[in-house]
Every structure is written in structure tokens, then in C-alpha cells.
């Protein structure tokens, strides 16, 4: 085998690796995801279908296990959370994360619950998105992966919020911060 062929194989390998793992977008960093779902079948299916080379996935089947995993693995950045669990409501975990962690993981809800008031309440408390379990799995997994990739890439983007109203600035800050943007608020000038 000639040196030219060897070099071309190496270059081709680098090109394929670059394309497969999207190195240009710095997405190769490990993304730690906790799936909290009491149905072992659904939990295992989502885990299997969501796997990517840069994802490290943890599984919990109830709130107590989820809390233990979160204490042991502070590096978890995303939680896929069912709201109705055998030992409590997913809402409780969201509230605990909001008040206990300086930088809480981004929570993505997976639920069959269609209560709009509850959804709005969860969004007000920092939930990033809310997916119905009735969505076909192929579409659900694609949407979750797209959301995680977008959120992961958003932290490289900065947004300046300018408005006369401090209430509006704070509201927009909350929404953009939830979506993982770096937000800068303009102070009102005198």
C-alpha cells in the first residue's frame, strides 16, 4: 500500500469523523441526560432511541431515584421528566431544582397530561418544553434531539435586552435564559 493511499484513508477518516460528530459546532462535549419515567418499557425505549455518541444517559423510575442520581451526578444538564410518578408528582422535582441548584438542569416534560393550566405553570417555573407521550416515538425522539442540540448550541449566543420596563426586561430574560442564551439586560438610563 502506498503512502498516498494511506494518507487519503486517514484524511477520509477525519472527514467522516468530522461530519458524524459535528466537530465544527463543538457539540462533541458530553451531554448528560436523566430520564425520569416510571414505565420501564417507555424509559428503556426512549433511552435506546435517544442514544448518541456524546450523550450519557441516566435512568430513574421514580422521584427518589431521580433525586439520588442528581445528587451523585451534578453534571446532569437535561432531565426528561414524566409528571405522574409512583412516589409523587414531577412538579415537585421541578420546584426543588429551581430553589436548590444555582444552575438547575433544563427540564423537558414528557407527559400524557393535557391540563393547559399545569403546562403554563410548569413553563413559568423553567420547563424548557413539554412533549406529549402520544406523539409517535420516531417524531418524539427527533424533536427531543433537535431541542437538546439547539439548547446546547444556544449557550454560545448572546442577546442584549433593551426595554424601558424592568418587568418586560426581566420577563424576556427569564424566557431566553430558560432557552440557554447568554442574556444581557440594558439598564435604564436616567
Residue 27's pLDDT band, with cuts at 50, 70 and 90, is very low
pLDDT in tens, 93-130: 998 887 776 778 999 999 888 888 999 899 888 899 99
Global pTM value = 0.77
User: What is the DSSP-derived secondary structure letter of residue 101?
Assistant: -
Show the domains of the chain with their CATH numbers. Answer: 27-154 (3.40.50.2300), 157-190 (no CATH)
- Going by C-alpha positions, the residue among 95, 93, 79, 97 that lies closest to residue 147 is 79
- C-beta separation of 112 from 24 below 8 A: no
Query: Over the range 12-42, which residues count as b (16 or more CB within 10 Å of their CB) and which as e?
Result: eeeeeeeeeeeeeeebeeebbbbbbbbeeee
* pLDDT score recorded for residue 128: 93
**Pairing label, strands 158-161, 84-85:** unpaired
Residue 159 predicted with pLDDT over 70: yes
Torsion of CA 184, 97, 108, 23, to 10 degrees: 60
In DSSP terms, 110 is beta-bridged to 131
- In the predicted structure, residue 187 carries a pLDDT above the cut 60: yes
Comparison of pLDDT for 90 and 9, the residue scoring more: 90
Amino acid at each position: 500500500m502506498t503512502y498516498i493511499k494511506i494518507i487519503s484513508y486517514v484524511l477520509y477518516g477525519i472527514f467522516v469523523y468530522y461530519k458524524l460528530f459535528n466537530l465544527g459546532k463543538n457539540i462533541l462535549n458530553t451531554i448528560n441526560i436523566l430520564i425520569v419515567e416510571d414505565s420501564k418499557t417507555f424509559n428503556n425505549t426512549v433511552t435506546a432511541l435517544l442514544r448518541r455518541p456524546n450523550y450519557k444517559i441516566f435512568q430513574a423510575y421514580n422521584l427518589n431515584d431521580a433525586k439520588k442520581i442528581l445528587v451523585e451526578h451534578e453534571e446532569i444538564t437535561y432531565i426528561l421528566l414524566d409528571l405522574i410518578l409512583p412516589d409523587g408528582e414531577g412538579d415537585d422535582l421541578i420546584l426543588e431544582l429551581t430553589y436548590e441548584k444555582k444552575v438547575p438542569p433544563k427540564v423537558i416534560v414528557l407527559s400524557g397530561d393535557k391540563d393547559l393550566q399545569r403546562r403554563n405553570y410548569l413553563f413559568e417555573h423553567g420547563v424548557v418544553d413539554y412533549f406529549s407521550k402520544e406523539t409517535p416515538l420516531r417524531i418524539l425522539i427527533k424533536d427531543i434531539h433537535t431541542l437538546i442540540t439547539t439548547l446546547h448550541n444556544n449557550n454560545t449566543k448572546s442577546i442584549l435586552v433593551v426595554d424601558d420596563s424592568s418587568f418586560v426586561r426581566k420577563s424576556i430574560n427569564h424566557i431566553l435564559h430558560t432557552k440557554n442564551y447568554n442574556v444581557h439586560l440594558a439598564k435604564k438610563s436616567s
